Copies of this chain bind each other. A is one copy, B any other.
Amino acid sequence: MQESTGLEQMICFELYAASRAMTSLYRPALDALGLTYPQYAALRVIWHRGRVTVRDLGAALQLDSGTLSPLLKRLENQGIIHRTRGTDDERVVWITPTDKGSELQHQVADLPQRLACALDLSAEDFATLHTLLSRIRGAAH
């Protein structure tokens, strides 16, 4: 029996700790590619959409420009993405993967599957978790 911490019955703390634990599981694989987890999450959206505005990327990741602008600048400096101002609306910045950025996609294709296996949860557990986490995300508007 572990000693009591005073953190029992705090779903918030459990989420906070589980999120960091899960990210640390991704870290070795992502480190090898020179990526952080938030950069990887952003790239998943960019790969999936092919072409996305900073605004839409923020909506998908639930992050604002204060977080994304420097993150995208670092990805651009690494030659992984392009940033181009929109021609019709010059406020908008379009993000696209470079060739190097597209190649990265193949190197991490099996990552979620591989790491999900390490958790040793049933398909049912994943579905339950998905439902509950979505509800929590929804509750915070």
Using CB atoms and an 8 Å cutoff, list the residues of chain A in contact with chain B.
4-7, 9-26, 37, 41, 44-45, 47-49, 60-62, 112, 115-116, 118-121, 125-126, 128-130, 132-137, 139-140
Contact = CB atoms under 8 A, between A and B. Distances in A.
Task: Work out how many copies of this chain go into the complex.
Answer: 2
B140 A21 contact: yes
A130 B11 contact: yes
Main secondary structure of the interface of A (DSSP, over half): helix
Contact of A19 (B6, B19, B130): B19
A136 B48 CA distance: 27
A107 to B, nearest CB: 16
23 contacts: A7-B41, A7-B45, A7-B61, A9-B112, A11-B22, A12-B19, A12-B25, A12-B37, A15-B19, A15-B22, A16-B19, A16-B23, A16-B37, A17-B133, A19-B19, A20-B62, A21-B140, A24-B140, A119-B135, A120-B135, A121-B136, A128-B132, A129-B132
